């Protein structure tokens, strides 16, 4: 009897097909049972999830949430809970935090939030009074200085406004909030600013004490006797530095509609130093000969000696030479004087580095009777 390959092939193929179908059915039944199990597990877990309310003092809410929600997201990730705050009630001193999860996870989340609150540093408030004049230095241009103090110390600095005008003894209250270390760091920087302001004020007072009434010597002003000249000015015509005002020194005056002032500050101190340097330089015989002028014309910028105090100043020639003299305008003061040609020299270029200090002014809404 002969057996052909066809007799074996068909049964084998049929057997393989039936086996594949059986395996597929078993797999489908297994996956369905697994899905049912997972679904039942999720339902059981969902049934076990609870919502818990946890009250957080209002001042600690930012710490619990964190920058960009980083802290509360970390709590949710570690505990497997969902956390959010109820709508804020400004009249209440606390905010209600809703924690949703299993009993164990909600308890864990509450413990983490409690730990965050308990570990927050104690925030204190400290008050200090500083001279009103020092406030500008503490605040800085555009608030730069006070922002730097807050950044470096991590304390909050509040400078009160609304001080009494024109009161040289007025003080401003500054409130500092933060931890003891932060307050100490901010206070140290504020005290340093006050010290710097006192030193600057002392220099300005010394400079003002040495100033003499130059305008009274001008040919356009009323003459006063030498005895009066020998007395230094006890107090300049000035406004104390307050909000919207500045302290100035009236350096020359012709009429209420035309006078000159210098803004009291580092500029006037630098001017005094410049005058001293120029006087020492031009009093040197060699330098004097080197800077002699052969041709003096109106509009020329020069160094001129002031007749009264024998010091050299920056000046502008405003009249043609006549009888060995010409009239000059002392540009940093605004006053005029007749100066001998021998006392008018070429101005060294670097003596022009400091900006001119005299500012021409007039009184507003003032008319002669």
Q: What domains are there in the chain, each with its CATH number?
A: 50-119 (3.30.1370.10), 124-210 (3.30.1370.10), 248-361 (2.30.30.140)
Which segment of 176-185, 192-201, 217-226, 308-317 scores lowest on mean pLDDT? Answer: 217-226
Query: What average pLDDT does the segment 129-138 reach?
Result: 89
- Dump pLDDT digits (tens) for 191-207: 999 999 888 878 777 76
**Per-residue confidence band for 13, with pLDDT thresholds at 50, 70 and 90:** low
pLDDT of residue 120 exceeding 80 = yes
pLDDT of residue 226 exceeding 60 = no
- Residue 168: its pLDDT value, please? 63
Query: What average pLDDT does the segment 333-361 reach?
Result: 92
Which segment of 69-78, 105-114, 198-207, 307-316 scores lowest on mean pLDDT? Answer: 198-207
Partnered with residue 209 across adjacent β-strands are: none
Q: What percent of the chain has pLDDT over 70?
A: 75
pLDDT of residue 242 exceeding 50 = no
- Dump pLDDT digits (tens) for 80-103: 999 999 888 888 889 999 999 998
pLDDT of residue 279 exceeding 50 = yes
pLDDT of residue 182 exceeding 70 = yes
Query: What average pLDDT does the segment 11-26 reach?
Result: 65
- Alpha-carbon Rg for the chain in angstroms: 43
- Residue 98: its pLDDT value, please? 93
**Per-residue confidence band for 212, with pLDDT thresholds at 50, 70 and 90:** low
Query: What average pLDDT does the segment 246-259 reach?
Result: 84
Highest mean pLDDT among 29-33, 48-52, 167-171, 223-227: 48-52
Query: What average pLDDT does the segment 36-59 reach?
Result: 74
Torsions phi, psi for 296 (to 5 deg): -115, 125
pLDDT of residue 12 exceeding 80 = no
Task: Name the residue among 349, 348, 305, 347 with its Cα closest to residue 326.
Answer: 305
pLDDT of residue 216 exceeding 50 = no
**Per-residue confidence band for 233, with pLDDT thresholds at 50, 70 and 90:** very low
**Per-residue confidence band for 330, with pLDDT thresholds at 50, 70 and 90:** very high
Q: Are 205 and 186 in contact (CB under 8 A)?
A: no
- Residue 314: its pLDDT value, please? 96
- Residue 46: its pLDDT value, please? 55
**Per-residue confidence band for 123, with pLDDT thresholds at 50, 70 and 90:** confident
**Per-residue confidence band for 253, with pLDDT thresholds at 50, 70 and 90:** confident
- 337 or 18, which is more confident: 337
**Per-residue confidence band for 175, with pLDDT thresholds at 50, 70 and 90:** very high
């Amino acid at each position: 009897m002969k057996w052909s390959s066809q007799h074996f092939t068909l049964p084998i193929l049929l057997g393989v097909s039936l086996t594949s179908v059986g395996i597929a059915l078993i797999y489908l039944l297994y996956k369905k049972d697994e899905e049912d199990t997972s679904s039942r597990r999720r339902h059981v877990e969902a049934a076990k999830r609870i919502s818990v309310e946890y009250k957080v003092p209002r001042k600690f809410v930012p710490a619990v949430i964190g920058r960009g929600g980083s802290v509360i997201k970390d709590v949710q990730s570690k505990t497997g809970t969902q956390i959010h705050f109820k709508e804020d009630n400004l009249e209440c001193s606390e905010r209600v935090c809703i924690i949703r999860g299993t009993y164990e996870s909600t308890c864990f989340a509450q413990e983490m939030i409690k730990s965050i609150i308990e570990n927050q540093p104690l925030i204190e408030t400290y008050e200090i009074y500083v001279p009103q004049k020092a406030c500008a230095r503490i605040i800085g241009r555009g608030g730069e200085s006070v922002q730097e103090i807050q950044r470096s110390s991590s304390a909050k600095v509040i400078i009160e406004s609304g001080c009494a005008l024109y009161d040289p003894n007025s003080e401003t209250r500054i409130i500092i909030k933060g931890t003891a270390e932060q307050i100490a760091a901010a206070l140290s920087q504020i005290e340093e600013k006050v010290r710097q302001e006192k030193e600057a004020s002392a220099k300005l007072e010394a400079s003002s004490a040495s100033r003499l009434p130059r305008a009274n010597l001008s040919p356009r002003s009323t003459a006063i006797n030498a005895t009066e000249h020998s007395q230094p000015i006890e107090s300049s015509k000035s406004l104390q530095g307050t909000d919207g005002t500045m302290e100035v020194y009236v350096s020359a005056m012709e009429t209420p509609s035309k006078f000159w002032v210098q803004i009291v500050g580092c500029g006037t101190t630098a001017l005094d130093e410049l005058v001293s340097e120029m006087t020492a330089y031009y009093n040197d015989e060699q330098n004097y000969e080197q800077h002699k002028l052969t041709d003096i014309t109106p509009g020329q910028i020069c160094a001129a000696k002031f007749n009264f105090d024998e010091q050299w100043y920056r000046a502008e020639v405003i009249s043609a030479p006549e009888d060995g003299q010409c009239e000059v305008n002392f540009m940093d003061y605004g006053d005029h004087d007749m100066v001998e040609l021998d006392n008018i020299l070429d101005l060294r270029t670097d003596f022009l580095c400091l900006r001119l200090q005299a500012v021409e002014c007039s009184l507003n809404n003032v008319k002669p009777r």
